[in-house]
A and B are shown apart, each in its own frame.
Chain A
Amino acid sequence: MSFTHELIKLVQQDRVGKYLLSSLLAVSIMVPVLNLLVPESSSLHVSTYVVTLLGKYLCYALLAIALDLVWGYGGILSLGHGVFFALGGYAMGMYLMRQVGDRGVYGNPELPDFMVFLDWQELPWYWLGFDQFWFSALMIILVPGLLAFIFGWLAFRSRVTGVYLSIITQALTFAFMLAFFRNEMGFGGNNGLTDFKDILGFDIQHGGTRNVLFVVSALALAVGYLLCRYIVNSKFGRVVVAIRDAEDRTRFIGYKVESYKLWLFVISAMMAGIAGALYVPQVGIINPGEFSPLNSIELVVWVAVGGRGTLYGAIVGALLVNFAKTFFTGALPEVWLFALGGLFVVVTLFLPQGLVGLYQQTREKYLARRAV
């Protein structure tokens, strides 16, 4: 009872959040309806390709708010958040690989194709349990969370901050990429995990499954947003912002700064893991490229473009930049990287608060002028 009450209060206080959540709800009803019920001949029909594409964007948006939580609020600029996204993705990929069963090219009921190809005789120990969905779901959250805990514990306790921390996170994701590229690691080497068949018994290629995955992604984004909103509205959130603005002061009034940073980082990593897990069945592949430092930097650009420290800014940024990416890589592939770089420069120089900040400033100016 008190939980629902809290939730309602949380949404009521959040002016922009209300619009965000209701449009998310509208989209998650409209898109499947337009895809499944409207005939293909109609101009209103949304193709399954678009449904999957939108689902992918929503996963990116969830990843973006996870980063905004640590960067926008905690002031911890992680340039390696992709590592948590990719680990969540790999955990899901391992589950999907085990679901293939004997339908692989080599028809081995126990071993995934790449292991047969490498002439392995049995499943490595770390693959055990991934045939169970509940176990995989647990790992999707725990593995990124544990890595964030160990990394954060070491880094924050040693008081590594600022650009040094950013560089280490970058190195972390790079190290994971190199490790996962190796065949003997047992994660499919540079081909990664692919050729999935079904998820929880449903055909992964089927339009209905695609729509369900899309709706689940929208739901995950909504829950993730509310969780983040709860965190930043709580006193925990105020302490975290205080640490960002005056770390020493926070320490001298009696807060154990390291613990606050650590738990913020862990929560964020878990959310990134979930985003990765929802992403993989929709794109149908996970490979070490997801660990690439470039991905993590792109993620930072989304949040910067949208506006950090607002949560919805991160969502706006992730959706807009990825939409632009899809458009440019289709229409003018050679221009995209220049456009992305240019965008980052423009935002850093002229829009320190991102697009959301620009909107807020314009709105304030308009209101002020009307008041006169």
Chain B
Amino acid sequence: MRNQTQGQSVSWFDITGTVPVFYQAQTALLTSLVRSLPLAFVAIAIAMMILLKSVRAGLFCSVPGIFPIAVVFGLLSWQGYVLDIGIMLTGSVAMGIAVDEILHLLTWFRIAIGKAKVGSRRSCWHSGIVALR
């Protein structure tokens, strides 16, 4: 880039300070978020498949794990919020917490479905009472 300052030509210049550092950190965080969220979803789905011993059940039960991120990040981008470091950090944390709660409920659900020997609807009712606390 060429710039005329005080009669002499400047062929290049560096932007210094905290702003480019912050910008680069934010860009790196955003790209790593985009790369790591699908990876985390795949890893969680594989873990669910191993736990439930069924590919379809594993995929089915990992859907509520991405629901909070889809809703909140979708609403944020709809309202025009710019993603910053604080918002980016929340994505993976929320995914972990959602999966934790799903595993709690699924454990109760499996206990109920094994004890009652009834269908999923009834087991859901029994496990829901315990898990709602």
Same complex origin of A and B: no
Chain A residues with CB under 8 Å of chain B are none
Chain B residues with CB under 8 Å of chain A are none
